[in-house]
Amino acid sequence: MIRQAMIGAIAIAAWTAPSAHAHIAPSAPQMMPTSIGYQPNDAVEKGLWLEMDEAERQMRTSKFLVDDPELIAYLQRVLCRAVGKDKCGAARIYLMRTPHFNAAMAPNGMMIVWSGLLLRVRNEAELATVLGHEFSHFEKQHSLKSFRDIKAKSDAVAWLGFVPGGIFAQIGLMGSVFRFNREMEKEADMAALEYLSSSGYDPMAASQIWEQLRGEMEAQAKADKSVAKEAENDFFSSHPNTKDRMEYLRSAAKRKAPNNENGADRYRETIARWWPRLIEDQVKLGDFASTEYLLASLARGQWTADLLYGRGELYRARGKKGDFEAAEGFYRQAIKADAKLAESWRGLGLVLLRQGKAVEGRKMLRQYLTISRVAGDKAIIGLMAQEPAK
């Protein structure tokens, strides 16, 4: 499972105790989990589904849920291309606005994708890798196997959710269910690679995404003057060693027919309107080093307007000596590359105001308001853009 903190803020907002009135249809043992209409077969599986059905009900009303049918449909198309149209209908995708790298799929077909994942993948092939990995856990019923193991080892009186401690106990239970062992993770890795190859995506994407993520973590560790020990990191505790993971995925990809199709242009075009919000959420984490690395790794020496805008936001937010001047430069480069990216004009205006360049700053803010189609901050920016009364 791709996970960084499945028991974090989104889980707190979305997952609660199960409904005592949920209805479970008769089991259909002849059906596979990916079959439409599949129902759980025994009491243990039914209990897990009770938990997940209620979790999904709460997910639909979560304040973190992204209400963007067009974007969700795109994610569904990528999943369907990867795993096949005959199986992907079993998945219901929920995009949650939180800036971390994460995705998961529950045994009842609920797939959760965190928006931070969209910031970090560079193309459809990498996105398909993650979605395919999670779908493989679902298809192979890894969470059910984990849950059976938990139940076998636990003497809890009410494992269906009536656990002392309320919501926090529930979160802990679900965190355990979604923690797969390394054998399961490798199995899902290899399945995702097969999905990539069979669907016409570049199989090398399976190793590239882990290489990029590891680099981001190392950049953060270096800035914190700490050591990124995988054994001590929750993200890697149940995953294969990252170096080994990249190597076996790269080696397996080399045995596949070469294919450079990764859907990079389609991907960037699809998330373009979400990019400013993804950057905003990432910058708010206050992790300068890893964000700088992330932007540089996405650019690979080719700084596009959206990446330059992101870099401007990063430096403006930090605000150390020389940062405002650097941010101004990045915003100007972004505008030169794409003058239609409205947020670059806003960033430039704000950073000019911070440097005491009020006249030009207000002018840039007015330009932002002129070209921005949906300016949620129109009122406050409008006030800042006004010329002072004489």
Mean of pLDDT values over 15-31:
41
Which among 122, 137, 118, 139 has a CA at the least distance from the CA of 75? Answer: 118
Would you say 11 and 102 are in contact if contact means Cβ atoms under 8 Å apart?
Answer: no
Residue 283, domain member (yes or no): no
The per-residue pLDDT for range 136-169, each reduced to its tens digit, is 999 998 877 777 776 666 544 344 444 444 433 4
State the pairing for strand pair 103-105/110-114.
Answer: antiparallel
Q: What is the pLDDT of residue 14?
A: 35
Q: How many residues does the chain have?
A: 390
Share of the chain above pLDDT 90, in %: 58
Which among 181, 33, 42, 166 has a CA at the least distance from the CA of 110? Answer: 33
Tell me, what CATH number does 370's domain have?
Answer: 1.25.40.10
pLDDT band at 376 (very low <50, low <70, confident <90, very high): confident
Q: How far is it, in rounded angstroms, from Cα 375 to Cα 380?
A: 10
Q: Same domain for 176 and 91?
A: yes
Considering Cα of 195, then 201, then 202, then 206, what sign does the dihedral take?
Answer: negative
Q: Same domain for 370 and 247?
A: no
Mean residue pLDDT of the chain comes to 82
Domain with 193 in it: 43-155+163-255
Mean of pLDDT values over 69-76:
98
Q: Same domain for 194 and 80?
A: yes
Residue 83, domain member (yes or no): yes
Residue 318, domain member (yes or no): yes
Q: Indicate the number of domains in the chain.
A: 2
Cβ-based burial of 158 (10 A; exposed 0-12, middle 13-18, buried ≥19): exposed
Q: Same domain for 219 and 72?
A: yes
From 223, 240, 255, the end of a domain falls on 255
Helix/strand/coil for 7? coil
Share of the chain above pLDDT 70, in %: 78
Residue 10, domain member (yes or no): no
Q: Same domain for 112 and 229?
A: yes
Q: What is the pLDDT of residue 32?
A: 66
Q: Same domain for 183 and 110?
A: yes
Q: Same domain for 220 and 318?
A: no
Q: Same domain for 206 and 116?
A: yes
Locate the DSSP E strands across the chain: 92-96, 103-105, 110-114
Q: Same domain for 225 and 309?
A: no
Residue 227, domain member (yes or no): yes
Residue 18, domain member (yes or no): no
Residue 174, domain member (yes or no): yes
Residue 274, domain member (yes or no): no
From 255, 283, 317, the end of a domain falls on 255
Q: Same domain for 110 and 251?
A: yes
Q: How far is it, in rounded angstroms, from Cα 192 to Cα 203?
A: 9
Residues in Cβ contact with 308 at an 8 Å cutoff, skipping those fewer than 6 apart:
330, 331, 333, 334, 337, 344
Mean of pLDDT values over 79-101:
95
pLDDT band at 53 (very low <50, low <70, confident <90, very high): confident
Q: What is the pLDDT of residue 272?
A: 92
Q: How far is it, in rounded angstroms, from Cα 203 to Cα 199?
A: 10
Considering Cα of 241, then 247, then 252, then 257, what sign does the dihedral take?
Answer: positive
DSSP conformation class of 65: B
Q: Check whether 2 has a pLDDT greater than 70.
A: no
From 255, 279, 312, the end of a domain falls on 255
Considering Cα of 276, then 278, then 279, then 284, what sign does the dihedral take?
Answer: positive
Q: Same domain for 88 and 175?
A: yes
Q: What is the pLDDT of residue 158?
A: 42
Number of separate helices (H) and strands (E) present in the chain: 19, 3
Q: Same domain for 376 and 227?
A: no
Would you say 185 and 239 are in contact if contact means Cβ atoms under 8 Å apart?
Answer: yes
